[in-house]
Amino acid sequence: MHELTLACDMVDIACETATREGAERVEAIELEIGLLSGVLAEALIFGFATACRGTVAEGAGIELFPEPGRGVCRQCGRISSLETFLTRCPECGSPGLCVSGGDCLRLRAIRVS
């Protein structure tokens, strides 16, 4: 489950940020999570709660902001929504779509107090 590793890394970053800013605790983090990122939101939320135990982030919230998948057709240039990496271009039917968004996990904000 790579979500636990991701959650641990995010908690480390949040705790380091809180310490650097002179804050006593991490209130919440905000994450952009791409549909094509391969990250399971439920597993990430569970892993985050586990990783926060015993840190200044214990009890912190996690807010997820979904990002849709997007791709550009290599054949005709159309920009389309992607549900999976195997989506065909709705314009020309080409399987050659190049992912242009929705494949990242990005730490958007850390709220501290």
| pLDDT tens column, 71-87 | 999 999 999 999 898 89
Expressed as residue numbers, the domain containing 35 is: 2-68+102-112
State the pairing for strand pair 26-34/61-67: parallel
**Domain CATH number, residue 17:** 3.30.2320.50
Q: Is residue 54 part of a domain?
A: yes
Number of domains present in the structure of the chain:
1
Instruction: Report the mean per-residue pLDDT for the chain.
Output: 95
Please report which residue ranges of 1-113 form alpha helices under DSSP H: 2-20, 41-52
Q: Is residue 81 part of a domain?
A: no
Q: Please answer whether residues 69 and 98 qualify as being in contact, where contact means their C-beta atoms are separated by less than 8 angstroms.
A: no
Q: How far apart are CA 25 and CA 47, in angstroms?
A: 19
What's the pTM value of the predicted model, to 2 decimals?
Answer: 0.84
State the DSSP string of 75-101: TT--EEEESSTTPPPTTT--S-EEEEE
Higher pLDDT, 63 or 97: 63
Q: Is residue 76 part of a domain?
A: no
Q: Is residue 82 part of a domain?
A: no
pLDDT band at 96 (very low <50, low <70, confident <90, very high): confident
Q: Is residue 86 part of a domain?
A: no
